Amino acid sequence: MFIIGYMASGKTTFGRALAHRMGREFIDLDFYIEQRFRKTIAEIFSEKGEEEFRRMETAMLRETGEFDNVVISCGGGTPCFNNNMEYMLSRSDVVWLDATVDRIVERLVINSSRRPLIKGKSPEEIRLTVEKGLSDRIGFYSKANIRFSGEHLEDKRQIATAIDRFLDLYHDIK
Protein backbone atom coordinates (compact mmCIF):
# COMPACT_ATOMS: atom_id res chain seq x y z
CA MET A 1 0.00 0.00 0.00
CA PHE A 2 1.24 3.47 -0.90
CA ILE A 3 0.39 6.66 1.00
CA ILE A 4 0.58 9.88 -1.02
CA GLY A 5 -0.28 13.53 -0.39
CA TYR A 6 1.20 16.96 0.03
CA MET A 7 3.92 17.65 2.58
CA ALA A 8 2.60 17.82 6.15
CA SER A 9 -0.61 16.01 5.22
CA GLY A 10 0.30 13.34 7.77
CA LYS A 11 1.67 10.61 5.48
CA THR A 12 4.44 9.40 7.81
CA THR A 13 2.33 9.61 10.98
CA PHE A 14 -0.62 7.85 9.36
CA GLY A 15 1.48 5.33 7.42
CA ARG A 16 3.51 4.26 10.44
CA ALA A 17 0.37 3.77 12.57
CA LEU A 18 -1.44 1.97 9.76
CA ALA A 19 1.47 -0.40 9.11
CA HIS A 20 1.66 -1.21 12.82
CA ARG A 21 -2.07 -2.00 12.99
CA MET A 22 -1.95 -4.09 9.82
CA GLY A 23 1.16 -5.99 10.91
CA ARG A 24 3.13 -4.68 7.94
CA GLU A 25 6.54 -3.09 7.60
CA PHE A 26 6.54 0.70 7.27
CA ILE A 27 8.83 2.43 4.77
CA ASP A 28 9.17 6.19 4.53
CA LEU A 29 10.49 6.58 0.97
CA ASP A 30 12.46 9.77 1.71
CA PHE A 31 14.14 8.13 4.72
CA TYR A 32 14.84 5.02 2.62
CA ILE A 33 16.54 7.19 -0.02
CA GLU A 34 18.57 9.04 2.61
CA GLN A 35 19.77 5.79 4.17
CA ARG A 36 20.57 4.22 0.81
CA PHE A 37 22.57 7.18 -0.52
CA ARG A 38 23.86 8.43 2.85
CA LYS A 39 22.74 11.98 2.08
CA THR A 40 19.72 14.03 3.06
CA ILE A 41 17.09 14.79 0.44
CA ALA A 42 18.19 18.45 0.64
CA GLU A 43 21.82 17.45 -0.04
CA ILE A 44 20.81 15.31 -3.02
CA PHE A 45 18.73 18.18 -4.45
CA SER A 46 21.58 20.63 -3.88
CA GLU A 47 24.36 18.42 -5.28
CA LYS A 48 22.57 16.61 -8.10
CA GLY A 49 19.48 18.69 -8.89
CA GLU A 50 15.82 17.80 -8.96
CA GLU A 51 15.94 15.73 -12.15
CA GLU A 52 18.56 13.35 -10.73
CA PHE A 53 16.74 13.20 -7.39
CA ARG A 54 13.52 12.23 -9.19
CA ARG A 55 15.39 9.50 -11.09
CA MET A 56 16.76 8.13 -7.79
CA GLU A 57 13.35 8.43 -6.14
CA THR A 58 11.70 6.50 -8.98
CA ALA A 59 14.29 3.72 -8.74
CA MET A 60 13.78 3.43 -4.96
CA LEU A 61 9.98 3.52 -5.35
CA ARG A 62 10.16 0.62 -7.77
CA GLU A 63 12.53 -1.27 -5.47
CA THR A 64 10.36 -0.87 -2.36
CA GLY A 65 7.19 -1.34 -4.40
CA GLU A 66 8.24 -4.94 -5.04
CA PHE A 67 8.35 -5.75 -1.31
CA ASP A 68 5.46 -7.72 0.18
CA ASN A 69 3.34 -6.59 3.13
CA VAL A 70 4.56 -2.99 3.32
CA VAL A 71 3.03 0.43 3.75
CA ILE A 72 5.12 3.00 1.86
CA SER A 73 4.82 6.69 2.64
CA CYS A 74 5.91 8.63 -0.46
CA GLY A 75 7.33 12.10 -0.78
CA GLY A 76 4.85 14.80 -1.78
CA GLY A 77 6.15 14.91 -5.35
CA THR A 78 6.62 11.18 -5.87
CA PRO A 79 3.33 10.58 -7.75
CA CYS A 80 4.01 13.50 -10.12
CA PHE A 81 7.06 12.19 -11.99
CA ASN A 82 8.19 9.32 -14.22
CA ASN A 83 4.80 7.58 -14.35
CA ASN A 84 5.17 6.79 -10.65
CA MET A 85 1.43 7.08 -10.01
CA GLU A 86 0.65 4.56 -12.70
CA TYR A 87 3.31 2.23 -11.29
CA MET A 88 1.90 2.48 -7.75
CA LEU A 89 -1.64 1.84 -8.94
CA SER A 90 -0.44 -1.24 -10.82
CA ARG A 91 1.19 -2.66 -7.68
CA SER A 92 -1.20 -1.95 -4.81
CA ASP A 93 -3.74 0.40 -3.32
CA VAL A 94 -2.81 4.08 -3.30
CA VAL A 95 -4.20 6.20 -0.48
CA TRP A 96 -4.32 9.96 -0.98
CA LEU A 97 -4.06 11.44 2.50
CA ASP A 98 -5.82 14.73 1.93
CA ALA A 99 -5.65 17.72 4.27
CA THR A 100 -6.85 21.30 3.98
CA VAL A 101 -4.51 24.16 3.18
CA ASP A 102 -5.16 25.55 6.69
CA ARG A 103 -4.12 22.28 8.37
CA ILE A 104 -1.02 21.90 6.20
CA VAL A 105 0.05 25.50 6.83
CA GLU A 106 -0.52 25.06 10.58
CA ARG A 107 1.74 22.00 10.64
CA LEU A 108 4.39 23.59 8.42
CA VAL A 109 4.59 26.76 10.50
CA ILE A 110 5.28 24.61 13.57
CA ASN A 111 7.95 22.50 11.80
CA SER A 112 9.27 24.85 9.11
CA SER A 113 12.96 24.41 9.95
CA ARG A 114 12.86 20.73 8.89
CA ARG A 115 11.61 21.43 5.38
CA PRO A 116 13.96 23.12 2.91
CA LEU A 117 11.13 24.20 0.58
CA ILE A 118 9.64 26.47 3.23
CA LYS A 119 12.53 27.20 5.60
CA GLY A 120 12.69 30.90 6.44
CA LYS A 121 9.29 31.72 4.90
CA SER A 122 6.58 33.67 6.69
CA PRO A 123 3.20 31.99 7.34
CA GLU A 124 1.77 33.96 4.39
CA GLU A 125 4.57 32.77 2.08
CA ILE A 126 4.06 29.21 3.31
CA ARG A 127 0.34 29.46 2.50
CA LEU A 128 1.10 30.65 -1.05
CA THR A 129 3.62 27.81 -1.51
CA VAL A 130 1.08 25.23 -0.31
CA GLU A 131 -1.76 26.62 -2.45
CA LYS A 132 0.41 26.56 -5.58
CA GLY A 133 1.91 23.15 -4.77
CA LEU A 134 -1.49 21.56 -4.17
CA SER A 135 -2.86 23.12 -7.34
CA ASP A 136 0.05 21.70 -9.36
CA ARG A 137 -0.23 18.21 -7.86
CA ILE A 138 -3.94 17.61 -7.32
CA GLY A 139 -4.35 16.03 -10.76
CA PHE A 140 -1.86 13.33 -9.77
CA TYR A 141 -3.16 12.85 -6.22
CA SER A 142 -6.74 12.49 -7.44
CA LYS A 143 -5.80 9.33 -9.36
CA ALA A 144 -5.44 7.44 -6.06
CA ASN A 145 -8.02 4.72 -5.62
CA ILE A 146 -8.65 5.70 -1.98
CA ARG A 147 -8.95 9.24 -0.62
CA PHE A 148 -8.83 9.71 3.15
CA SER A 149 -8.65 12.74 5.42
CA GLY A 150 -5.36 13.59 7.09
CA GLU A 151 -6.96 16.43 9.06
CA HIS A 152 -7.01 14.87 12.52
CA LEU A 153 -3.65 13.30 13.29
CA GLU A 154 -2.45 15.61 16.04
CA ASP A 155 -2.26 13.18 18.98
CA LYS A 156 -2.36 9.46 19.74
CA ARG A 157 -6.13 9.41 20.24
CA GLN A 158 -6.81 11.14 16.91
CA ILE A 159 -4.36 8.87 15.11
CA ALA A 160 -5.97 5.72 16.58
CA THR A 161 -9.45 6.98 15.64
CA ALA A 162 -8.30 7.79 12.10
CA ILE A 163 -6.76 4.32 11.68
CA ASP A 164 -9.98 2.68 12.95
CA ARG A 165 -12.04 4.72 10.48
CA PHE A 166 -9.66 3.96 7.63
CA LEU A 167 -9.62 0.21 8.31
CA ASP A 168 -13.43 0.15 8.45
CA LEU A 169 -13.55 1.94 5.09
CA TYR A 170 -10.80 -0.23 3.63
CA HIS A 171 -12.48 -3.48 4.63
CA ASP A 172 -15.79 -2.22 3.19
CA ILE A 173 -14.28 -1.55 -0.23
CA LYS A 174 -12.12 -4.69 -0.37
Q: What is the pLDDT of residues 89-121, one digit of tens each?
A: 999 999 999 999 999 999 999 876 667 678 788
Single-letter amino acid, residue 72? I
Q: Could you tell me if 89 and 37 are in contact, meaning their C-beta atoms sit under 8 angstroms apart?
A: no
Per the CB < 8 A criterion, the answer to whether 105 and 58 are in contact is: no
Cα separation, 140 vs 134, in Å, equals 10
Q: Has residue 17 got a pLDDT over 90?
A: yes
Exposure class string for 88-97: b at 16+ Cβ within 10 A, else e: beebebbbbb
Q: What would the mean pLDDT of 16-31 be, rounded to a whole number?
A: 98
How do the domains of the chain map onto residue ranges?
A: 2-151
Helices (H), the chain: 11-22, 29-37, 41-64, 84-91, 101-110, 123-141, 156-173
pLDDT of residue 116: 67
Contact 83/59 with Cβ under 8 angstroms? no
Query: Quick check: pTM over 0.85?
Result: yes
Distance from the first to the final alpha carbon of the chain? 13
Q: Is it true that domain 2-151 has CATH number 3.40.50.300? A: yes
User: CA of 49: how far to CAs of 46, 80, 88, 155, in Å?
Assistant: 6, 16, 24, 36
Assign 121 to helix, strand or coil. coil
> How many other CB atoms sit within 10 Å of the CB of residue 171?
8
pLDDT of 14 above 90: yes
